[in-house]
């Protein structure tokens, strides 16, 4: 007698969480292979799990040096995981289905809508195609620019490999590099080509594919969507403020940009204003930053990139809507308005929920780690925010983490990449319609 096996049905948030977890598992097993590193011995499970999570979640925090510890095979695995994690495994799965001429079902389109953080399914397949075109074109251009500059410092073949690796890593806001642990782009701190290429890749990857698609259509449509306007204006303001504050705080600091000329100060400040959202690459020693500057980086890491991008954080639009709600309340207005468009109340509530959830998570994890890791709280908070924002910047704590600390930071990277709300939706029971509403009450606020 045949036994009927019930067909499992998962909601889109559950599928996304399971998909990313599966990629982490596969990456962990591959990185544990002796062929993946230069020692010829299996990498410990916790270190392989941490590295795979960091790559899939495009973070860049490492417990071993990527350039010297991993072999060419291991670095290739990391690069593939970065690409899948940055573009999203559902994006690549959809592209494969389109290549095989497989028709996408309504369920597939709903899942893509959730994965790309879109408000509707309209044009979702066209957007997925553009994701691939834009990514390959931008990464190829970045690789050529990097390689052309690095060819002056190393053999051409190595320069091409370095150029490709760092272009993919920077565009996907991953933060992995082959320059050496904690060195980052220190050797190129005042190099215009390297810095401009890095900044360009990070910004383009962090704007989001919806914005890139909107910009590509601007000549034809002669207008941008409200989403693109908010993303571009918020991104520009954050970069300008980050650049000015970093330059002011670190101008005379000999451990960072104080010893550099005017050009070095400019490029060093620009990269460190862009990288915390959420690429994680550094051209100065972060451990020598003034605490005020470190706190600035904390704020930028928390805000992160934009929705539908390769970056993490609470996202620029979430931050903008929260600030907009605060300004509207201070002015005594009922509506939050951007560019003469009123936002729906549910969007404002969602933004506030994400901000509060994220703050609670980061504070909770930092307090937990402060009880297990013997380091200053500022260093622990910085590492926690870097992990949750999928940034990858570090003050040197990651290699010294305990096993418990590595697990907690790895889970923070996962939560930051998948999204706290997505995880909440994935774990909560099926929503049931409300049959009644309670009477309205009033409490005193403020």
pLDDT in tens, 155-203: 999 999 999 999 999 999 888 988 875 567 888 999 999 999 999 999 9
Of all helices (H) and strands (E), which one includes residue 341?
A: strand 341-342
pLDDT reading at 253 higher than 60: yes
Q: Decide: pTM greater than 0.85.
A: yes
Q: Which of 265, 273, 267, 201 is nearest to 235 (CA)?
A: 273
The pairs formed by 394-403 with CB atoms below 8 angstroms and a separation of 24 or more are 394/61, 394/182, 394/286, 395/286, 395/287, 395/294, 396/182, 396/287, 397/373, 398/61, 398/62, 398/63, 399/62, 399/63, 399/64, 399/181, 400/373, 400/375, 401/63, 401/373, 402/372, 402/373, 403/46
N-to-C CA span, the chain: 67
What is the structure's pLDDT at 4? 44
Per-residue pLDDT at 1: 39
More confident residue, 375 or 11: 375
Task: Give the whole-angstrom CA distance, residue 265 versus residue 193.
Answer: 15
Please provide residue 337's backbone torsions phi and psi, each rounded to the nearest 5 degrees: -120, 130
pLDDT at residue 89, as a whole number? 58
Residue with tokens 């996202």: 315
Digit-coded pLDDT (tens) for 390-399:
998 989 898 8
Tokens found for residue 129: 């195609």
Upper half-sphere CA count for residue 76 (Cβ side, 13 Å): 5
Q: What is the pLDDT of residue 209?
A: 82
SS3 120: coil
d(CA 395, CA 26): 29
pLDDT at residue 2, rounded to an integer: 42
CA distances from 297 to 20, 26, 239, 243, 278 (A): 27, 32, 12, 11, 10
Query: What residue has token string 């980052």?
Result: 184
Is the predicted pLDDT of residue 106 greater than 70, yes or no?
no
Distance of CA 159 to the CA centre of its chain: 26
User: Given the DSSP bridges, would you call strands 337-338 and 341-342 parallel, antiparallel or unpaired?
Assistant: antiparallel
Question: Is the pLDDT reported for residue 121 higher than 60?
Answer: no
Task: Report the pLDDT averaged over residues 303-312.
Answer: 86
pLDDT digits over 51-101, tens only? 999 999 988 889 998 988 999 999 999 999 999 888 775 566 566 555 555
Confidence class for position 105, pLDDT limits 50, 70, 90:
low
The pLDDT of residue 6: 46
* Separation of alpha carbons 101 and 362, rounded Å: 43
> Mean of the pLDDT values across residues 3-20?
63
User: What average pLDDT does the segment 206-225 reach?
Assistant: 85
Strand spans (E) along 46-135: none
Residue 369 has pLDDT above 90, yes or no: yes
**Continuous segment of H or E residues that includes residue 187:** none
Q: How confident is the model at residue 436 (pLDDT cuts 50, 70, 90)?
A: confident
Range with the largest mean pLDDT of 12-26, 175-189, 406-420: 406-420
Quickly count: other Cβ atoms within 10 Å of residue 69's Cβ: 19
Q: Is the pLDDT of residue 328 over 60?
A: yes
pLDDT, position 12: 63
The DSSP element (H or E) to which 52 belongs, if any, is helix 45-56
| Gap between the Cα atoms of 84 and 20, Å rounded | 9
Q: Shortest CA distance to 83 belongs to which of 176, 18, 156, 208?
A: 176
Closest CA to 177 of 254, 275, 85: 275
Q: State the pLDDT confidence band at 435, using cuts at 50, 70 and 90.
A: confident
Mean pLDDT of 263-288: 90
Give the whole-number percent of the chain exceeding pLDDT 70.
Answer: 85
> Is the pLDDT confidence value at 151 over 50?
yes
Residue 94: the pLDDT is 62
Higher-pLDDT residue of 103 and 344 is 344
CA proximity to 351, closest of 117, 173, 123, 121: 117
Q: Coil, helix or strand for 145?
A: helix
């Amino acid at each position: 007698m045949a036994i009927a096996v019930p067909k499992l049905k998962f909601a889109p948030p559950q599928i996304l969480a399971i998909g990313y977890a599966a990629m982490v598992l596969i990456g962990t097993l591959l990185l544990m292979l002796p062929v993946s590193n230069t020692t010829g011995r299996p990498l410990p499970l916790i270190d392989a799990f941490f590295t795979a999570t960091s790559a899939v979640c495009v973070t860049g925090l490492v417990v071993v040096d990527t350039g010297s510890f991993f072999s060419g095979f291991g670095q290739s695995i990391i690069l593939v995981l970065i690409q899948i994690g940055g573009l999203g495994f559902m994006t690549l799965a959809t592209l494969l289905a389109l290549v095989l001429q497989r028709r996408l079902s309504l369920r597939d389109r709903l899942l893509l809508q959730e994965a790309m953080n879109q408000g509707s399914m309209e044009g979702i397949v066209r957007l997925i195609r553009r994701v691939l075109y834009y990514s390959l074109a931008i990464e190829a251009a970045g690789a050529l620019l990097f390689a052309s500059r690095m060819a002056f410092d190393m053999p051409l073949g190595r320069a091409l490999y370095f150029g490709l690796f760092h272009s993919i890593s920077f565009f996907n806001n991953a933060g992995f590099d082959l320059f050496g642990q904690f060195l980052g782009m220190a050797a190129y701190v005042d190099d215009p080509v390297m810095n401009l290429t890095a900044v360009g890749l990070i910004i383009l990857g962090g704007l989001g594919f919806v914005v890139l698609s909107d910009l590509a259509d601007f000549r034809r449509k002669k207008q941008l969507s409200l989403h693109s306007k908010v993303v571009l204006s918020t991104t520009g303001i954050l970069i300008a403020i980050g650049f000015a504050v970093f330059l002011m705080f670190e101008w005379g600091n000999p451990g960072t940009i104080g010893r550099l000329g005017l050009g070095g100060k400019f490029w060093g400040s620009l990269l460190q204003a862009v990288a915390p959202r959420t690429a994680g690459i550094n051209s100065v020693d972060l451990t020598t930053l003034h605490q005020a500057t470190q706190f600035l980086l904390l704020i930028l890491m928390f805000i992160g990139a934009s929705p539908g991008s390769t970056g993490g954080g609470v996202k620029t639009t979430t931050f903008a809507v929260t600030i907009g709600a605060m300004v509207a309340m201070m002015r005594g207005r009922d509506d939050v308005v951007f560019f003469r468009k009123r936002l729906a109340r549910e969007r404002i509530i969602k933004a506030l929920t994400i901000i509060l959830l994220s703050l609670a998570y980061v504070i909770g994890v930092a307090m937990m780690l402060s009880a297990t890791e013997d380091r200053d709280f500022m260093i622990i908070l910085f590492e926690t925010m870097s992990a949750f924002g999928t940034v990858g910047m570090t003050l040197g704590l990651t290699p010294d983490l305990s096993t418990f600390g590595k697990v907690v930071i790895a889970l923070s990277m996962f939560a930051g990449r998948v999204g706290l709300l997505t995880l909440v939706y994935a774990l909560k029971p099926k929503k049931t319609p409300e049959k009644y509403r309670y009477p309205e009450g009033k409490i005193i606020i403020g």
